[in-house]
Amino acid sequence: MKLRRDVFQAISDPTRRAIITLVAMQAMTPTAIAENFDSSRQTISKHIQILAECQILEQEQTGREIYYRLNPNGMKDIADFIEPFRQLWDKRFDNLESIMKSKIISSVRLKGSGHEHKK
């Protein structure tokens, strides 16, 4: 249970989500990750540490460098990872709903009769 809460906490932060985005495509060193951000190296290191503790990122030693990459097996069973997946769709659908609501309002205003058609 602790793991799940930690994972949600980990992905709730925009900087951490941005870090996940970066390493999702390729393993990166902490220095390379930090170069993408405004924040101090220490702040970024802290974020990386939290992600590693939650097993979202895993370390990979290549020569003298440590690389971080996304750990797809970080969460053990479906119940643990389905919630972020659900939230992803929930946000997309919230977006859909608000965009379509605004279209309905503007089309009602334009036509004045509530007779709505797509443009």
Contact 44, 37 (CB under 8 A): yes
14: which DSSP letter? H
Q: Name the DSSP letter for residue 35.
A: T
Q: Of 64 and 117, which has the nearer Cβ to another protein?
A: 117
**60 or 100, CB closer to another protein?**
100
Cβ proximity to another protein: between 66 and 81 the closer is: 81
Note whether 59 and 66 are within 8 A (CB). yes
Q: What residues line the site for another protein (CB under 8 A)?
A: 11, 14-15, 17-18, 20-22, 24-25, 36-38, 56, 70, 72-75, 78, 81-82, 84-93, 95-97, 99-101, 103-104, 116, 118
20, 11 contact by CB (below 8 A): yes
Mark out the alpha helices in 13-77 (DSSP H runs). 14-25, 30-34, 41-53
**Closer of 60 and 88 to another protein (Cβ):** 88
